[in-house]
Amino acid sequence: MTQDQWVPPVVLLAVDLVILTLRQSHLHVLLVERGIEPYRGALALPGGFLQHAEEDITVAAHRELSEEADLDLETLSLEQLGVYGDPGRDPRGRVVSVAYLAIAPRLPEPTAGTDAAAAGWQPIERVLSGDLTLAFDHQRIITDGVERARVKLERSSLATAFCGPTFTITDLQDVYEAVWGIPLDPRNFYRKVQKTEGFIVPAGTARKATTGRPARLFRAGPCTVLYPPMVRPTESPSEKE
Amino acid sequence: MTQDQWVPPVVLLAVDLVILTLRQSHLHVLLVERGIEPYRGALALPGGFLQHAEEDITVAAHRELSEEADLDLETLSLEQLGVYGDPGRDPRGRVVSVAYLAIAPRLPEPTAGTDAAAAGWQPIERVLSGDLTLAFDHQRIITDGVERARVKLERSSLATAFCGPTFTITDLQDVYEAVWGIPLDPRNFYRKVQKTEGFIVPAGTARKATTGRPARLFRAGPCTVLYPPMVRPTESPSEKE
DNA sequence: CTAGCTTCTTGTCAAGCTGACAAAAATAGC
DNA sequence: GCTATTTTTGTCAGCTTGACAAGAAGCTAG
């Protein structure tokens, strides 16, 4: 920046996707098995390098999303999570990765009986606990992604993105409980989401019944910003960062 | 990622700093006048390319901070804001910039009477209103930075980072009012910050007096996460994103 | 040295929200 | 019809918020 003759260093730019969904009331993340070195055979986030030097980063993220996860782009929340570029994180050279967070409603198993048995949706606990070993710094990225999702659930209507087009209030509560990892009182939750204007709106008279009283169906409301916000029960009194 | 022979494209990596401070109860951002093309002579955020291919991005951000703003790194909050990498944002080629947000207490004018009269601290309103024209996509970055600061003030004790080592409750209120851009009731504010445990702690018996009753002095408390959070008065009822 | 002005600090009060919990309502299965 | 299960509607005390009154503590002017 100070001398015209000095040539700034270049880096390789990649995108990584943290795709979260809910399966059996548990938060899962999509992982793929790496087919090439480095970390061949290890689990990693879907992602890859820019296709060409002029590709937009957001476009690249969407491209990887459809390539590697075959997801409908329309109904998806996709948000930039951060940059991960520690020197040495990739043995191939200086690779800087832009991570994106995507929230998906319930989806079918992406890897149906192939040899990549370990790939596909993995419970988030296995990742956070270190039970699964991931390539690169992907555990870190996932940790950050989950934390971001937890915070976003408080002030945005993101939770409805985990659900299908219609859902019951109990479905929505399942989302909050799974992402936050804590139980909530159904009666207080019911009251809260009902009175948060624009969060959810009734969806016809259809009802869902398995056992017990059939639940009313709702649809995501017009507001994406919740006011007042949903509050996570006292995370831990007098918390430090 | 699919063929070993394909070589991924490379990009130039830069860091940009959004450094915010408070001057005369107004939010200001640090801007410098560009000395080289492109946008020579235009105002821009402090920043620059990585120094060498192995430099850590966070290290580069801190380096630019001390190089271009001569700021004490110890007392500063520095946080990653996001990546800005639209193709075409820089005529020199594919430049991807990692933006950082820094919050600084009141500081002396960095450019004292030099010819770069326009550089230095600029009121945030002149930037947001488009009154000032900035290089690259820096207006966008600043807009995002200010919004991030606004949100962070709610849940973190960031506001104390705008103040010096000790401050009065009114000083702190000035920060909230300047960043949020709205007036607050001094009595309710006083009660709120007092009862938010760990936010501020009394600092000796010293007091500050100009006119009116002298105010008690406080110091930043141990907690960085505020619980319960400070709530911004109804941003605007039923807001859409 | 007293009145007046300014700013800080302590209260008061009604309205609204939260957490804990009771009980009614609506179905499926026996 | 009876029971188990889940959803939905209430109740109630405690706490926080927003609006506002009034006392406290210094400075300045007459």
Residue A216, classified by CB atoms within 10 Å of its CB into exposed (0-12), middle (13-18) or buried (19+), is middle
B11 with A13: Cβ contact below 8 A: yes
Contacts of B80 in chain A (CB under 8 A): 82-83
How is chain B split into domains, by residue range?
A: 12-154, 156-240
Query: Minimum mean pLDDT among A79-83, A183-187, B57-61, B203-207: which range?
Result: B203-207
Sign of the dihedral defined by the CA atoms of residues B218, B222, B226, B232, in that order = positive
Instruction: Give pLDDT, residue A1.
Output: 52
Residue B206 has pLDDT above 50, yes or no: yes
Q: What band does B235 get if pLDDT is binned at 50, 70 and 90?
A: low
Flag whether pLDDT at A97 surpasses 90.
Answer: yes
Write down the pLDDT at residue B156. 95
Give the per-residue pLDDT at A74.
Answer: 64
Per the CATH hierarchy, to which homologous superfamily does domain A12-154 belong? Nucleoside Triphosphate Pyrophosphohydrolase (3.90.79.10)
> What is the pLDDT, as a whole number, of residue A99?
98
CATH number of this structure's domain A156-240: 1.10.10.10
How far off is chain A from B205, nearest CA to CA, in Å?
25
Q: pLDDT for A98-151, tens place per residue?
A: 999 999 887 666 654 444 556 789 999 999 999 999 999 999 999 999 999 999
Pick from A139, A141, A120, A119: nearest CA to A130 = A139
The encoded tokens of residue B175 equal 């920060």
Crossing angle for the helix pair A186-195 and A169-180, to the nearest 10 degrees? 110
Res. B197 pLDDT band, cuts 50 70 90: very high
Q: How many residues does chain B have?
A: 241
For residue A193, what are the contacts with CB-CB under 8 A and spacing of at least 6? Answer: A169, A172, A199, A200, A230
- The residue with greater pLDDT, B101 or B228, is B101
Partnered with residue B220 across adjacent β-strands are B200
Residue type, A68: E
Share above pLDDT 70 across residues of chain A, in percent, rounded to a whole number:
88
| DSSP letter, residue B230 | P
Q: How far apart are CA B20 and CA B122, in angstroms?
A: 10
**pLDDT exceeds 60 at position B237:** no
Within 10 A of B116 (CB to CB), how many other CB atoms are there? 16
Is residue B144 predicted with pLDDT exceeding 80?
A: yes
Tracing tokens 């640090």 back to the chain, one arrives at B30
Give residue A160's pLDDT band: very low, low, confident or very high (50, 70, 90). Answer: very high
Per-residue pLDDT at A216 exceeds 80: yes
The reported pLDDT for the residue numbered A66 is 84
Please tell me which of A19-33, A179-193, B56-70 the model is most confident about, judged by mean pLDDT.
A179-193
Angle, to 10 degrees, between the axis of helix B186-195 and the axis of helix B169-180? 110
The residue with greater pLDDT, A180 or A237, is A180
Distance CA(B75)–CA(B78), nearest Å, equals 10
Residue B124 CB-half CA count within 13 A: 26
| Closest-lying nucleotide for B188 based on CA to C1' | D18
Helix pair A169-180, A138-155: axis angle to 10 deg: 140
Please tell me which residue lies nearest to nucleotide D6, judged from CA to C1': A212
Average pLDDT on B80-89 reads 96
Q: CA-to-C1' distance for B143 and D20, Å? A: 36
- Hey, what amino acid is at B78? L
Q: Identify the pLDDT of residue A4.
A: 58
B237 contacts A49? CB cut-off 8 A: no
CA of B79 to C1' of D20 (A): 40
In order, the DSSP letters of B17-35 are EEEEEEETTEEEEEEEE--
Band (A239; pLDDT cuts 50, 70, 90): very low
Burial of B215 (0-12, 13-18, 19+ CB in 10 A): middle
For range A2-6, the mean pLDDT: 62
pLDDT of A206 over the 90 cut = no
CA-CA-CA-CA torsion for A113, A114, A115, A119, nearest 10 degrees?
A: -80
Q: How confident is the model at residue B226 (pLDDT cuts 50, 70, 90)?
A: very high
Strand pairing partners for A20?
A: A29, A103
Record: contact B222-A240, CB cut-off 8 A = yes
H/E element, A127: helix A124-128
pLDDT score at B118: 62
Which residue's CA is nearest to the C1' of nucleotide C27? A213
- Tokens (6 digits) for A238: 């007098």
Pair A8, B49: CB distance under 8 Å: yes
Distance in Å, residue B215 CA to nucleotide D27 C1': 14
Closest nucleotide to B231: CA versus each C1': D17
The percent of residues in chain B predicted with pLDDT above 70, rounded, is: 88
Using CA of residue B57, residue B61, residue B66, residue B68, what is the dihedral sign? positive
Model confidence pLDDT, tens digit, residues A26-61: 999 999 999 888 999 999 999 999 999 999 999 999
Higher pLDDT: B110 or B49? It is: B49
Does this model's pTM top 0.75? My answer is yes
Contact B22/B175 with Cβ under 8 angstroms?
yes
Q: Is the pLDDT of residue B131 over 50?
A: yes
Reported confidence tier of residue B241, pLDDT bands at 50, 70, 90: very low
- Pick the closest to residue A31 from A139, A152, A144, A119 (CA basis): A119
Q: Do B201 and B172 contact (CB within 8 A), yes or no?
A: no
Q: What is the DSSP letter of A156?
A: B
Chain A residues with CB-CB distance to B94 below 8 A: 53-54
Return chain B residues 78..137 having CB < 7 Å to nucleic acid strand C.
Answer: none
Q: Are strands A10-23 and A95-103 parallel, antiparallel or unpaired?
A: parallel
Residue B110: predicted pLDDT: 60
Q: What sign results for the dihedral spanned by CA atoms B23, B26, B30, B32?
A: negative
The residue with greater pLDDT, B38 or A115, is B38
**Structural element, H or E, at residue A142:** helix A138-155
Least confident of A166-170, A235-239, B232-236: A235-239
pLDDT tens for each residue of B86-123: 999 999 999 999 999 999 887 666 654 444 456 789 99
Q: What is chain B's Cα-based Rg?
A: 20
| Residue A6: per-residue pLDDT | 80
Higher-pLDDT residue of A46, A207: A46
